[in-house]
Structure formats: C-alpha cells, structure tokens
Chains A and B, each alone.
Chain A
Amino acid sequence: MLKRILSMMATGEVQTQVELATELDVPEPLLSQMVAQLASQGYLTQAVMGADGCDGCALHMQCNPDRRLRIWTLTEKGQRAAS
C-alpha cells in the first residue's frame, strides 16, 4: 500500500490526498498517517513554502498563500522506491 502511494505520486496520477485516498479505498485519516510514516522514513518530504533569503523581507508575510496547505514531495529515496 505504501509503495503504491509512492508510485502513484511518481507518475503524477494523483495530486491530492483525497484523490489518493479514493484510489486506494482507504479513509483520509489513515492516508494522512501513511504519508506521515513515509515522511518519517525519508521517502517523502514536506515542501517548504518560502525560501532562503526571505527572512527580513518586509513582504515575506504575503508569500505563502495558505499556511495550512501542506505539500509533500518525493525524496530521492522515494523516487528510487517508486521506480
């Protein structure tokens, strides 16, 4: 099941956790937990909104359009496991 998450992400079949949960036929809270486990084991990483050098910029509060939006990307290890 975890491997399927990685391979579905790698092929770009799904873009939200809702879609992923529907595809895998699991409840969303369970999917969130799986995503968290994949992240803790280094297969996924949370994309950080903002960038180096933004600290101190007067406009940096405007950068992240939704601070509650969490985005996960595949790490190199995740890419390898997905292939």
Chain B
Amino acid sequence: MHMHHRRQHDTEGRLVHALHASDPEDQGLDTVVVALAGQPNVGKSTIFNVLTGLTQHVGNWPGKTVEQKTGHHLHQDHDLLFVDLPGTYSLSANSVEERIARDYIIKESPDVVVAVVDTAIPERSLYLLAELLLLPAPVVLVMNMMDVAEQEGILIETKVLQAALGIPVVPMVATRNEGVERMLDAIMSIVDGTFAYEPRRPTILATHQEVLAGLTALVTDYVPEPYPVPWVALKLLEGDEEIHGVVEELVPENVRQEIRAILYKHEDAVLDVAGARYAWIGRMVRAAVVRPKVGQVGLTSRLDAVLTHPFWGTLALLAVLAGVFFLTYTVAGPVQGWLVDLLAQFAGGAVGRLSALGSPAWLSDLVADGLIGGVGTVVTFMPILAIFFATLGFLEDTGYLARAAYVTDRFMHMMGLHGKSFLPLLLGFGCNVPAVLGARIIESPRARLLTILLAPLVPCAAQLAVVTILAAALFGSAAGVVVWSLVALNLVALAALGVVLNRFVLKGEPAVFIMELPLYHLPNLRSIGLYVWQNILAFLQKAGSVILVASLVVWFLSYFPAAGDISQSYLARLGRAIEPLGQLMGLPWPVLVALLTSFVAKENTIATFGVLYGDFVAVLPTVLSGPGALALLVFQMLFVPCLATVAVMKQESGSWKWTAIGVGLLLVLSLVAGIAVYQIGSLL
C-alpha cells in the first residue's frame, strides 16, 4: 500500500489555505494528507496544535460557517498536512459537522485518517471508528488521555486492541506531548506499507445481508465516483436521509420504486446495522479494556446491590424514611416551640397596641385569631419543613432518592399496578396536581384513569407537613413512628385500592421504561441549601395567599353572627350538623371543621386550629383521646384531595362521574379508616 504522493491541495477550492513562504510543500517535499477525526472534547485540537504550531491556517469549510483548520508538520523528510475535521459523534447526516467530515473523507480521500478517542470513555468514541472503517481511507486509532483513564483505574491493552482491530493503535497523552511521535510513525507505517493494514470491520446480521446485497445491486450503476457503492447501500439501509435524497435523484423511476419498497419493508434495519456496530464495540472493549474493580462505580454497584434489592431495598427505604422523620422532630421540634412562644408574645403585643389605639374588638380579634392565629401558626412550622426538606435534599443529592423511586416502582409491580403509573404517582409526593396532570403520559385511557384516581393517595408535601406538625403536638416523642406508619398506611391503601381497581378497571400491562440511576456521590451543601430555600419560599408564598384567605374566611365564620361567641357562630352551626359523624371518630366539631377546611388547601387544618384553638399544640391533647388523636391523623391522610387536585381530576378525566367516584372513594375510605381506628382503639 504505497500511496505516498505529491498533491496540490488548493485546487477546486476544497482546501483553501494561504501557504506560508516557509511551508514544506514549497520546499519540494512529498505531502501526506492526514485527517484528524474524533468526537468533541477528546483532545483533537491539542494534538493538532502540538503538531502544526505556527503553520496553521484557519478558514471555513467551503460554503459552510464551520471552521476549517489545516497545518503542516515535518516528519522524517515528509510533509504531513493535517486537516482538523469537525468534532462528530458518528458519520450520519445528522449535523453539518458530520456531513462535512464524511464528505471530506470520501471526496478528498486523505492518505490516512487519525481517529482520536477519549480513553477514559472508549465506548463513546468507538462508534465513530466503526463508521470510519467503512470508508476507503486507512485509519490510525489514537487512544488519547491515557493519564485520565489511568486515574479512573481504566487500563487499555493497546496491543490487544491493535490485534483485535487490525489497525495501528497508539496510546497518547497529548497534553504532555507523549505518544505524538509514535502516532507519526504509525501514520508513516500505513503510508509506506510496512504495517499490515487489515481492519476488522463490523458486519451486519445475516438477516439483512441479503437486503443489503439487493440494494447494492440496484444502485451500483448509478453511484458516482468517488462514493463507495457498499457504503452508499449501507447508508440507504440505515435510513440516511441525505444519501437517500442523492440516490433518488440519480436512479430511474423503476429503481427508485424498488428501493422505496425495500426500505419501507425494512424500516427498522437501522436497529440491526447500528446494533451490530455496538456489538462490535462491546467485543473490542471486552478484549482490551480492564475496568476498575473498586472506586466510584464499584461503590455504586455495591450499594445498589442492597439499596435496590426487592427486600433489603424496601427495608432500607423504610429505615431512611423513619430516619428523616426522627431527625425532623428531634432537631426542629424545640425550635418550633420557641417560635410559638414568640408568636404568642407578638400577638399579645399587637392586640395591646390595637386596644390602646381604640380599635374595635372585632379588629383585635381578627388580627390575633384570624391573621396571627391562622397564617402565623402555619409559619411557625417553618423549622420543621426546613429540616424535612434538608434531609430530602441530602438524600436527593447523594443519588439515593432515585433508588427510592426504583424500589417504590418494584413494590407497585408486586401489587399488580401499571408500571408507567409510577411516574406521575412519584410526582404526587411533591404535589397531587402535577401527579394527576402527569397521568397524560399514559397512553391507555383506562390506565390513565386509574392513575388519576390513585394519585390523591400519595401524601403530598403539604399533607406530610400537616401530619408532621399534628403528630408532634399529639404524640410527642413517638411522632416519628406515627408519621412513618401513616405514610406506610397511605401507600398500602394506594396499593390495595390499585389492586382492586386494576382488577375491575384495567388489565395489567407491562412496564415500558428504563431508568438511568445516577452514581452515588458526596452531597453539595450549596445545592441542598438552594433546595431548602426554594421549598420554604414556595411554602411562604402559599401561606401569604391561599392560607391567608382561608384563615380569614374561617375567622369570619367563627366570629359572626354572635360577635365572637364561637359556640353561636356559623361555623359552630355547621360543625354541630356534622358532629355525629365526628363522634364516631372521637372528634369534637372544631376538629372536624378544621379537617373540612383542608379541602381548600391541606395546610388549612393547621391554620384553622390556630384560629379556633389558639395554641392548639397545648389544647389538642386535652380535647382528644389517644384513639381520637390517631383517628384524626388517619382521617387527614386519607381524606379527599384539595380543591386544586379535584379540579384537575375533572379536567384530565373529562368526567364528573369519575371525579365524583374518585373523591367519594377517598371520603368513604377516610371515614371508614377513621371510625375503625377510633372504635378499635377505644376497645383496647
């Protein structure tokens, strides 16, 4: 293979470079043209700069706005002209860069193509190599960034790879100028024919070889020089739109129709063609790449063996949840107590000042009970939320929450639920509204409906905040266990209802998704801080809008018409009307009314308690028995979703009937569970 020849490269405007007076080409040396190919960020430019230095010429590729760089290097009395091809991931016609790279190699036919690979992630670059080997120009493979790969514990046996590929393979650290000479020698060994260049190219599956042969036969007479016919046929089979367009223009109508029929019949042939290349890459990597046994990847695999295990992973998830709640109460509980004291002092001061200014009694009452009692009480729970979100943020940042999602999904599968429902339901832990809206991604209408009906059973952030606060007030040190059990209860209820509805509403369909779990890593305090801040801000915005309005409405209903006598108020009349129901759960009417106001927004339960009881943390344990307190929490967790969620349930299901059934089911479920807990608890 002796292709060493003299060239004039600026003919036809293909390689327009203003030659320097000192250019080797002017000194009568033979020129060897070398194209540098590779993905972006593999160090191709570093190699180019090291080699060409001041001889570089920068311009644009003809007719394109993509930068073209060429430059010379003298090696063993040879002038090597390096052409830096645009960075590309493959040689399909997906981008201008890819078209430029392949057009250059085909039309200009360089003496050698150097494929540069990032050794730390060899798989990523080898696809491009698989495509380069299909073109006529011989290829030298440069494994750059060997130092980075070594740091990652990745070892490349370049000699094994060279034997497996049948092309020269050169290890390199371009930033340290290591391996550059060896690369130049390898280029010259191709040019002067001393290297036995016998590339082992990827082949396509037997099922499509016949199809490829058919296409090759059809286009042979029409493919213009210098396009290689087998390559054109293969690109047609791959569905390359540019090549398809070119061929359609060149072939007669009958051939065009035949090609179209073949391609239509084998629409998915690209899966086999590209799949065979990946299989080829897999073989090469297995042969020559030794991956680390320890380190980050190893740690992730070892942790995942436990944390994504069906049994141990579920156990770990429950333990992590328990830890989150425990930490929330032990750290934030005392801070919340101080804030309550502070708020009481502030309320006292505000009322005192208003009285001193001669304001009417109703205004003092509105400020003390309606505003400070309602919104103020909700705001005092900010420390609890801050710790709660900080622990969640920590788990997210380490990469654990993705595993929690995975384990939850397994659990749902075991319960016979639709796999894809998991995605929107997962959103429900933040807010039920996007959970219902997110059900849109499910194609099957019945599965979508089921997901919409189940979404409200996922405890949202607001609901968790409310039960977290109430449990702390009612169960003291046992609050963590209680909330943990309540979350478990909701998930079990969700699964049970899912199984029942699944049997009647929907036949099980398999999951059609895969997850890319991130590696575990040390958390970043800044991103956790940001996460906490954003959530607290969102909470405060809600306290200043929906909760404020609801607090004022509740205060109005509790103050009028009897000028402050709550027992004669509108709210009392409503409460007494439904009190028989409350008695079955051991709940007095103000508690029942507080629960009802959570229909507007979940946090309103707390705001209403603030309006009706003032310091409810002290009062609630005195008006509720143990079973009653538990019934309150169970009822709160299973109760109908908030107004916003109901509105989107109607919007997404398009049916009042199904919205009513969904809400009704939860109402019945919460009542039955609340009554059962109280009645059974009272017997014990």
B430 contacts A29, CB within 8 Å? no
Q: How many residues of chain B have a CB within 8 Å of chain A?
A: 70
In the complex, chain A residues whose CB is within 8 Å of the CB of B514: 9, 14-17, 19-20, 35, 71-72
The stretch of B171-179, B212-220, B344-352, B434-442 that contacts the partner chain: B434-442
5 contacts across the A-B interface (CB closer than 8 A): A11-B510, A58-B537, A59-B542, A60-B538, A73-B513
The residues in A between 31 and 69 inclusive whose CB is less than 8 angstroms from any CB of B are 32-35, 37, 40-41, 43, 47-54, 57-69
Q: How far is the CB of A30 from chain B (nearest CB, A)?
A: 4
Alpha-carbon separation in the docked complex, A37 to B278 (Å): 11
Instruction: Check A6 against B271 for contact (C-beta < 8 Å).
Output: yes
Which of chain B's residues has its CB closest to A13's CB? B510
* Of B274, B401, B535, B537, the contact of A65 (CB 8 Å cutoff): B401
Asked if A62 and B278 sit within 8 Å, CB to CB, the answer is: no
Give residues 100-145 of B contacting A (CB, 8 Å): 121, 123-124, 127
- Per-residue contact bits, chain B 422-436, to A (CB 8 Å; 1 contact, 0 not): 011011011101100
Given contacts A1-B276, A1-B279, A63-B427, contact A72 B516 (CB under 8 A): yes
CB atoms of A63 and B271 under 8 A apart = no
Given A12-B510, A25-B282, CB of A73 within 8 Å of CB of B538: no
Q: Are B513 and A50 in touch, CB under 8 angstroms?
A: no
B72 within 8 A of A: no
Among A2, A16, A69, point to the contact of B274 (Cβ < 8 A): A2
20 extra interchain contacts, Cβ-Cβ under 8 A, other than A59-B461, A59-B462, A71-B423?
A1-B275, A9-B514, A15-B419, A18-B304, A27-B285, A29-B124, A33-B127, A41-B239, A49-B427, A50-B434, A58-B537, A59-B431, A60-B538, A61-B531, A62-B461, A63-B434, A64-B430, A66-B399, A69-B401, A72-B514
B396 proximal to A (CB < 8 A): yes
Would B541 and A58 count as touching, CB distance under 8 A?
A: yes
The reply to whether B271 and A3 contact each other, CB–CB distance below 8 Å, is yes
Which of the 9-residue segments B12-20, B402-410, B470-478, B556-564 touches chain A?
A: B402-410
Contact call B285/A51, Cβ cutoff below 8 A: no
B430 touches A65 (CB 8 A): yes
Q: Output the least CB separation between B260 and chain A (Å).
A: 19
Residue contact A9 to B512, C-beta cutoff 8 Å: yes
On whether the beta carbons of B517 and A17 are closer than 8 Å, the reply is yes
Beta-carbon contact of A26 and B278 below 8 Å = yes
List B80-99 residues whose CB lies under 8 Å from chain A: 94
Closest B residue to A24 by beta carbon equals B282
Q: In this assembly, does B272 line the interface, its C-beta being within 8 Å of a C-beta of chain A?
A: yes
Question: Which 4 residue pairs are nearest across A and B when measured between Cβ atoms?
Answer: A51-B437, A12-B510, A62-B430, A63-B430
Q: Which residues of A contact B402 (CB under 8 A)?
A: 66, 68-69
Q: Is B341 an interface residue (CB 8 A)?
A: no
- Report chain A residues within 8 Å CB of B94: 40
- Contacts A9-B514, A50-B427: A30 and B434 contacting too (C-beta < 8 A)? no
A15 touches B513 (CB 8 A): yes
Q: B192 contacts the other chain (Cβ, under 8 Å)? A: no
List, in ascending order, chain A residues with CB within 8 A of B399's CB.
Answer: 66, 68
Is B275 touching A15 in the complex (CB atoms < 8 A)? no
